[in-house]
Structure 1
Amino acid sequence: MSGFGPGSTHWDAGLAVRRDVVGDAHVDRSMAAVSEFSRPVQEFVTGALWGGVWTRDGLDRRTRSLLTIVMLTALGRNHELSVHVRGAVRNGCTQEEIQEALLQTVAYCGAPAALEAFRVAESTLGELSDDDVAAGARAAGARAGEPGATARQDAGGDRGPRDTGGGGGHGGIRGRG
């Protein structure tokens, strides 16, 4: 696993993507909690998964985020689900897209898994920081070719359960200070 650790090409790329997707605060907390025992798995996850998989050209980050949310729902990994719901927002996914991805899990993962995933996602969406929402707006704006705009906003808006029509253009997702 040492080929994926600090100083390797995969590590550097992976750390950058990981910070973009889940945010500096989460990465800093995770890295500060690394013990000598857990260091190899953290290095592998950062280098191989974030640096080797998330950096590939075949899927955009939004799609990778939605797939990850669905897989974590199927596995019942709710802590990681929360992390990746936040990451999906940071990657430009709207609340409606997250909701639709989770709704798809009812048929294929079962109602109990989907119901719990909805609870986790709703809680996480309610706890987003302004930085998370701003990162999502930047990602969506880059996708739409206009800084700060979202594809949903360009297509006539997106009214999710948390959107009161007050603008923001991010599927009703609002951050907390």
Structure 2
Amino acid sequence: MHNTIALPSGIGITVSWFPMVMPEMYNRLDPTDSTSVWDFNSYVPDVVVINLFQNDSWIVTDPNNEQFINRFGEQAPTDTTIIQAYKDFVGSIRGQYPHAAIICALGNMDATKSGSAWPGYVQSAVHQLNDPDIYTCFFPYKNTGGHPKVNEQRQMASQLIEFIEANINW
């Protein structure tokens, strides 16, 4: 049996629907308590899956959003800034888990819609990291409203399992 850890989505890397972003809280046991820090040596995964940027993709286009204003003021982040933030976050995960395979994923919501810049941001960051054990896996755009339903979650899970079996050398 192999160990896998998935970092939660529903939060952004550059901006979220609430004041904190994942780089500020991923290492916490309790996200509201900065002193409750996870011991990364207590569980060492073989694979880490990062599925983030969906929330960023919405908020960076809404200059009236309170968190946009709090993070960026009046100016949206540049492509370079977005890519660097993703690269920095993935690099911090690599620092905690130097031997794990890291899969940089994008879920099946509109961040993966045809014409979306977000897969390119992820690919650029991964390319710049130049690490053969960091992969990208983008789920096909679901083209239905709302968050993924159970059957859509199952489809993504199956695709992720197939991706891991085809690409990760245990």
With the length of structure 1 as denominator, give the TM-score of the two structures: 0.30
**Structure having the larger proportion of residues in helix:** 1
**Structure having the larger proportion of residues in strand:** 2
With the length of structure 2 as denominator, give the TM-score of the two structures: 0.31
